[in-house]
Each structure stands twice: as structure tokens, then as C-alpha cells.
Structure 1
């Protein structure tokens, strides 16, 4: 390779049951996203975020977008090196965003083959076809450390939406004592969400990697719900766009679920939907676009897409985790669904897995419960687990160490061999069982939907209410949540159930306090707001 070195964590392996069809047409036009380092400012940024997390909300001073760009953006000299590199290999610089550390290059496949020492090819899989490569990505030695990741050479689907439509013919329904469904506003009432808060000055950002919504569905849904219709803004990222397929079983179900739940529980809120391709490059670009969006300025993001940590490259995890760290500095709370396949997270290797991006220590990971109630009050709430029909994701990260703020949460060691002590997932929970699911309107039809996909926008809506009431964004909320006392009553502690979805893997059990099924529990919104309002006292103990 001469003076070329490989990017650690960039290795791609052939998916099971996939095969190479042929080499890629050398003249095919494509684009690639490069993620740049932060250099000497990274440790400074980490120190600032950590110190801010220890302060009461009233004393937190999050950075503006311009302040962040000036202090922590990519080094112009690094950008210049990329421009010279692009010129050398006949590649065009399409976009430079120093705030997010993103540079987008475009050109012929043959140029990218040469520039990154890869052999791009077309691959076939039973579920999809894709362009990609095997092995590592390489860069010239003078770009060592400058380039943290290269995304888009391989465009295989990266993530899955974490929602489940209720199927009335499910045999498992016969054994259930409940088959109820709720409007999102009814769930919010059971969780005692603050009422009569006008969230029209708040913006919730939603990440979507496919599908779309129909404006007439949104209009009808909120009219019937008796809630103000949200102002919807579509933000197209890397060719992604609002493109409903007409099939609610696919990504349409995810898009509509996210919008309808978030906006139903945060009356009048503005919703910016970031549509991007379902690739590692698309996912990263959607997140960085939302976090650094100076126009819409979402104060909270909802992400209901993900995949087991083992299905990501290390470079992807590192880049996205850094983006979530940026969000903390900017005062953006990120809510992520923890997955719908129990402790295995859908990986059939006999081991437990957690879902990323929920496993990032810079996001609020949202697990699932089965919620039953009468007259607006909770009668019973247990871990969501319907076996092969779905169960809440949760467990211990194989990638991230135990964060300081989880030190006293009694996170168990991993049930995998070696018993790693890592980041515990999830942090919080909410109703996710399709049998006690949410009524939504998608593609002109009414459905009942569950999954942890519903919990991320449910919490995003609650955060928007809290931000509005406090008069400023809470930002990275995890440390504050873990310091709350049980006396605050901010959470319904879920103590019954487990997340073994197959009987073939180990699992984690619900228990008093934090657990790896439902985290700290489901919210009592009004009491959580009061506890956070009083956090100056709580955080100074």
C-alpha cells in the first residue's frame, strides 16, 4: 500500500447470504462523506460538556451554533488537506460543513477506488442489492488522524425501524387479558404529562431513513384528535425525501408514528423531519444536519431507527457518538429507541446485544412497557415482552464503558461470556406493546402500533414540554435523571418481567430501581418537570 494506511474500524465484511455480482462500473457517479477530526479541541469540548452536565439547568449555558463552529469546528487546515486530496484524485468537493466536521466528495467510482484503495463491486443479498466493498478503507499517510471515517463507499441498508403493527390474527392475542389501544393523548394523560403548555416555539427533529407521510393524513388525524396540527418541515438530506410508499408495514408506518405521537403530546410543536437514505452515510448526515440546523434549531431529536452494535463499523459508531456529543454542547436532547427484539436485538448468535444508537452514552435510550389503565390512570405496567412477537431491547453495551452518571444505578455486568461492565441500556421507558399500542393514521388507514419506536417520540414530546416550561433546553438530561430520588416520584418503577424474546438467549429482568429492560421506568411527566425545576437543589446535594 506504499504510503497508505488503513482507517481503523472501517472494515466491511460480506453479509451472510450475500454474494458479489460484478465489479462496479468505473464511470458510475457517486458521493462519499468524510468525517474529520476535532484535533486539540476535542478534550476541551468533553470537559465543557461534562462540567455543564453537573450544573443545574438554570445555570447551564449551551453554545449557539456560531459559537460551536468557531470553537469546536473542523480545522480549516484539515479541510484544505481534503481539498488537495480530492483534486489529486479527480474528485469534486460538493459540501463542506466545518461545524459538523463533514466534507462530501463526488466523482467516478474508479476515482474512489484509487483514492481509498478499495475495490467497489455490486453485491446481491436475498433482501437487498448494494454497492460496496470488503476489507478496510485506506487513506494517504498525510491524512492520518485528520480523517476519522469515510462513509458511503458501501451503501448497504444500515438500520431498521423499531415499530410493530398490531396484527389482530396474532395467536398470542388470545392469551392476553388486554387488547386495548390508546390515542397518544390518552397515554400522555396516564403518564401525567404537563397540560396546557403551548409548544409552538419548540421544534422536535425526527430522523427518518425511508418512507414518508401524506399531508391529508396528518390533517385528518390531528383534527380528529382535537390537537393543534403541527407545522411540518421536510429537510431532504443526501437525496432523501418525503416519499410515502403506500405500505404502512414499511417505513411509512415509522414516519407517521413518530410525527403523530410527538406532535400529539406536545401541542402546537414544530416538527422538522430529516429524510435521508438508509445507509451509514445517510444516517450520519441526517443526524449532523439536524444537530447543526441553524434554521429550525430542534431542541430535541427523536430517532427510532437502529441496529445491534455488532452490525455497525467502529468508524460509524465513533462518528455518530461524536455527533451526539456535539448535540449535548448545543443543548439538544437525543431520544433513541432501544429495539424490539429483546436481549438478543435480533442477532442469532446465542449472545446478548444492545441497539445502537441507543447505546451511545450521549443519548436518552428509550425502552418499552406494556401499559394498562382505566379512566386515565395506570392499573398495571410491566416489561413489554411478547416473545417472538417483540420485546423491549436492553442490556449492557459491548462498545461503551459505564458512564459516570450510571455508577450508582447498579448496572449488572453483561450476561455474555466475560461479563463486561458497560453502558446500561435503556435509560427510561414507556408504552410499547402493540397490544396496548397507539392509534395512528397512515396511508389513509387506521392502525394500532407499538414498538420502542413509539417511546422515543413520546419522550421527545415530553422533553419539548419541559423545555418550554423551563424557558430553555435541558440538553443532555441523563446525569440529572439518574440523580433524582425515588421520593421525587418522577418515574413509575417497573419491577415485573424480562426481555428474553426467544428462550434461546439469556435475558435481563426487571427489578426495583434501574434495570436493563425499562431503565429508570416510565415517566410521571408533571413530577419529572417539578423535579427538574427543583434540580438546582437536587444537583447540589
Structure 2
């Protein structure tokens, strides 16, 4: 047997072992295989309208998994007594099923039950092993463990946080009163931010599909109908897509429901005629990998932009997980799909003391640190009437309520970012890697977004709100442009630099890095000036 590179388990704090997992427990495993052929380098300076994107069918045929590789995994599964559940050639994966005893024996590893703040999970205690004939074919094995991997990047305002805790109610029951409604009096909506950031008018996202990745929670149709009615807009067409058994499962406002509602309501307010597809998956490395692949390669709904408001410090991912997701984002770039990711809500260190013991180091949040995604940081905005009077880096508390941002420990400095002035990491050694974020928008819960979730209205902030805000803007741009915007980063750091498409944020810090003129590791290039961004892309 040969050790699978990148499959060494990541140490996790605050877990208590409950002993070996039962041998008869059923496990579904996603086996990720190599590409049929490598992708050609993406042209970094090609403008929308001149880029050549692959169709999803072309991508599957040219760069998906080969039948021979999937057959090799299926033959291995048969010998090990595992069933083949599904083959996914475009996503380069095959799903196998068996008991814990069969799976751990087949992959030469071990698994235990562990208890943690979110419940009880399986956790691998050893790397994955492969038979020699699969060495070089298999690049990842996911699902043997199912410990929650990511956190939603939203924050309630102080008043709304208490209101949300007080709003616990029986499943499906509407509250007797609406006391919490008053907590959101100062919140902005996507409509408000679209005006403040000068998004192009006369566009509504028609013909576009916005994909949203969710690893828990759910939405209620009654909430969406009431919310968009309050904005004078029709409720967008929202479809729940199940991945790995994940479902639209609303429960309580302080759960992931707030994340789901925030994402849908912000994106839908900016682009009300765009279809919204919400991909629900379990919160695990397997669930995250499979949900992204499902959205990228969805040849039915064909999303042109993906919004992801979940993430975790790079150090908390396995190398195989980072690689599988980064390659999925690279595939999105080849397909002309823009991916927007929240940069985190716990400052430069990206480790909230409430979620474990910080290690004292700075961390970039993944997946925002992937070079193929648009990393979305946060600001704090002050407004008088319809005019922004000031905008600074969001930093209400550098350990628990501040924009993420910094320097990647996992991804090298991209060629298109070499002239941006990415600083050395503040960690020992001071290396220079991929700088995060690329852009920013209003995120402080003190100046947050008005969100209706589980029958009541709250004020919610976080970089979670910035990702769907940009996803809505991208949908508007894609509606107007002859081709989708696609991978925006090389354009932001190249032809769009100096075009006035972004308004620089030069004041503030995130507890590790400081804002300044030009790109910085707090707010990237700054906040959008929507009409100028569209004009620059059209010119």
C-alpha cells in the first residue's frame, strides 16, 4: 500500500475521543481522481468578450475523469467489498459505500468517534493508503471522517444576537409577537448597498443563475416572500439542491439559518430576476468538496457565479482538501464562472477564541485564499442620506469581529499579484504568498444588513454578506456583457487597476495588517463603483 499524499489528518483542538467507530457503521466515500488532461494556462489579460470559455460538456470530455481511471477505482472497490454508488466524470469523482470496517480496511486507515462542540463525529487517525495500481490516479479520499470543517462568516449585531437567542421557538411555529423586528431598524438591504456602491441600473440579473453553497441551516419560503415584498420586489426563484444528503432544514435563527437567509436575501435584492440555486451539503470536508463540484459542473442550472460564505483557517484543512477545492475553482475559471468567497470575520488571525484555542499565528481563510476565487473582505460604512460619508476597515474587535485578510501559507504569490505590493506575512519567517482579500464591502454588524430569518428580522453583518453582494453584482454584469466576467482577479490586478472601478479604502487595520493606498491585506482594492466597473469591462 502507498500513502496518499495530503491525507495526513489535521490536529483538532477540543475534541474528546469516544473510542473506535463501530465496524458496521455505513460510510459513503468520495474518491477524487486525476484530470484526463491538464488545463491550459488561463490568459491573464483577455477581456470579457475575448475570452474562450469551455462549455461544461467540453470540460467533462477534455478534463474530467477518464473511464479507465474510474474503472480502476470501481475494480478496487469490488475487490474490497465496497459498492459503487455514483460516477461523476465531470467532477472527477466516484462515490463508494460500505461499512466502517470495510472502508478502513480498504484504505488502510483507522477511524474513531469524537465529541466536540457541534456534536459527535467520525475522525480519521491515520493517513489514507492506496493499492499501488491507484497510486497517481487517486488524488483525494473524502468522507471517512465527517468532522465539521467550516464556519459561516456572519455576525449578529449585539441587539440582534440577544433577540435571536430569545426567539427560540418550536420548529415551524411563528412567534407570537415581532419584538425583534425593531432590532433591524438601522440595517441596510442589498437594494441600499447597490445604490450606495453605484451598481448599474436597468439590470436585474435576468438570464443568470447564482449558486450559493450552504453547509447547514435552511430557508423558509414565507420569510423570502415577506422580505422581498417589504422591498417592493418579487421573490426570486430559489431552488434547493441536495448534495450528499444535505437538505434545506431551517431550525433556529442563531443557527446556520441566518447564513442561508443572508445569502439569498442580499443576492436576490441586488439581482431579483436571477435564479438562485442553493446547494445544501453536510458540513464536512467531503460535503464542501462535493458541493462546490456540484455547482461548478451543474449542466442543468448552469450558474455563472458562485457565492461561498463558509470557511476556516488554512491550517485546519488537509492538503488533499485544499487541492481538490482549488482545482474545482480552476475549473470554474475555465468555464467562465466567477467564485466569490468571504474572507473571514476574526481579523488577521482568523481564529475566534469562542471556537477553540488560537495558536497565536496569522491565518488566511480558505477558500478565500484560493487564487481562483474573488476574496471578499469587510468595511464599516457611515452614511448620510444616500451618500457614504466615510468607509474604513471593519474592525470592531480584532479577535472576533473584524475582516479577515493577510498572506496565504498554502498558495504562492500569483503572477498577476506580483506588482500589488503584497506584504510579508506577519508570521515568523515573513514569507510572501497569495494576498487576501481582493475586494471588500460593508460588513460590520454595527452597520449590517436587514435580514428576515425564521419569521423575524435582524441586523446581521460579516464578510458573509459581502460575498453574495458581489455575486449579485456579477450577475448584473453578466446580463449586460457579451460573455460572463469569469475569473475576475487577473483583470482587477491588470487592465482594471487605475480605472476607477474600485474605490480605495485607506484607513484602518484588521489586527495584523494595515490599510493604505492601493491594494492592501484588509480590503484588497476596496469597494466597487458598479457603473465604472461595467464601463471598464465593456471598453
User: Normalised by the shorter chain, which TM-score bucket?
Assistant: over 0.9
Q: Give ranges in structure 2 of 5+ residues lacking alignment.
A: 163-184, 353-357
- Secondary structure, in 3 states, of the residue corresponding to 2:254? coil
Q: Which moved further from structure 2: 424-433 or 368-377?
A: 368-377
TM-score, reference length from structure 1: 0.92
What is the CA-CA distance between 1:349 and the residue it aligns to?
1.3
What is the CA-CA distance between 1:267 and the residue it aligns to?
2.4
Q: Is the 8 A contact 1:402 1:421 kept in 2?
A: yes
Change (3 A) 1:469 1:126: closer
Query: Residue 375 in 1 paired to residue 385 in 2?
Result: yes
- Secondary structure, in 3 states, of the residue corresponding to 2:475? helix
What is the CA-CA distance between 1:14 and the residue it aligns to?
4.6
Distance in 1 (alpha carbons) for counterparts of 2:319 and 2:79: 28
What is the CA-CA distance between 1:389 and the residue it aligns to?
4.4
Q: Tell me what 1:539 maps to.
A: none
TM-score, reference length from structure 2: 0.93
Q: Tell me what 1:205 maps to.
A: 211
Q: Tell me what 1:366 maps to.
A: 376
- Secondary structure, in 3 states, of the residue corresponding to 1:222? helix
CA-to-aligned-CA distance 1:139-190 (integer Å, 9 cap, x gap): 111111100000000100010000001112899xxxxxxx942122111100
Q: Is the 8 A contact 1:13 1:134 kept in 2?
A: no
The one of 242, 264, 269 equivalent to 2:269 is 264
- Secondary structure, in 3 states, of the residue corresponding to 1:156? coil
- Secondary structure, in 3 states, of the residue corresponding to 1:322? helix
Distance in 2 (alpha carbons) for counterparts of 1:221 and 1:6: 52
1:60-99 to 2 correspondences below 5 Å? 60-99=51-90
The one of 433, 436, 460 equivalent to 2:447 is 436
Query: Residue 181 in 1 paired to residue 191 in 2?
Result: no
Q: Give ranges in structure 1 of 5+ residues lacking alignment.
A: 172-178, 501-506, 535-541
- Secondary structure, in 3 states, of the residue corresponding to 2:476? helix
The one of 493, 509, 521 equivalent to 1:516 is 521
CA-to-aligned-CA distance 1:77-114 (integer Å, 9 cap, x gap): 11111010000001011111111101100011111011
What is the CA-CA distance between 1:486 and the residue it aligns to?
5.7
Q: Tell me what 1:503 maps to.
A: none
Q: Which moved further from structure 2: 105-114 or 441-450?
A: 105-114
Q: Is the 8 A contact 1:342 1:385 kept in 2?
A: yes
Query: Residue 496 in 1 paired to residue 487 in 2?
Result: no
Q: Tell me what 1:411 maps to.
A: 422
Query: Residue 6 in 1 paired to residue 28 in 2?
Result: no
- Secondary structure, in 3 states, of the residue corresponding to 1:250? helix
Query: Residue 233 in 1 paired to residue 224 in 2?
Result: no
- Secondary structure, in 3 states, of the residue corresponding to 1:87? helix
Change (3 A) 1:286 1:342: same
Distance in 2 (alpha carbons) for counterparts of 1:335 and 1:169: 26
Distance in 1 (alpha carbons) for counterparts of 2:239 and 2:188: 27
The one of 330, 342, 352 equivalent to 2:362 is 352
1:32-181 to 2 correspondences below 5 Å? 32-38=29-35, 41-42=37-38, 45-47=39-41, 50-51=42-43, 53-168=44-159, 180-181=186-187
CA-to-aligned-CA distance 1:310-336 (integer Å, 9 cap, x gap): 000000000000000000011110000
The one of 283, 286, 303 equivalent to 2:288 is 283
Distance in 2 (alpha carbons) for counterparts of 1:486 and 1:68: 31
Distance in 2 (alpha carbons) for counterparts of 1:64 and 1:317: 25
Change (3 A) 1:379 1:464: same
- Secondary structure, in 3 states, of the residue corresponding to 1:368? strand
Q: Is the 8 A contact 1:14 1:134 kept in 2?
A: no
Query: Residue 19 in 1 paired to residue 16 in 2?
Result: yes
What is the CA-CA distance between 1:375 and the residue it aligns to?
2.3
Runs of 4+ in 1 over 6 A off after TM superposition: none
Q: Is the 8 A contact 1:258 1:454 kept in 2?
A: yes
Q: Is the 8 A contact 2:9 2:318 kept in 1?
A: yes
What is the CA-CA distance between 1:18 and the residue it aligns to?
1.6
Q: Which moved further from structure 2: 371-380 or 417-426?
A: 371-380
Q: Is the 8 A contact 1:288 1:323 kept in 2?
A: yes
The one of 492, 505, 510 equivalent to 1:481 is 492
Distance in 1 (alpha carbons) for counterparts of 2:233 and 2:161: 32
Q: Tell me what 1:468 maps to.
A: 479
What is the CA-CA distance between 1:433 and the residue it aligns to?
0.4
Distance in 1 (alpha carbons) for counterparts of 2:417 and 2:257: 36
Distance in 2 (alpha carbons) for counterparts of 1:109 and 1:419: 43
Q: Is the 8 A contact 1:510 1:517 kept in 2?
A: yes
Q: Is the 8 A contact 2:15 2:115 kept in 1?
A: yes
Q: Tell me what 2:535 maps to.
A: 530
Q: Is the 8 A contact 1:13 1:135 kept in 2?
A: no
Q: Tell me what 1:452 maps to.
A: 463
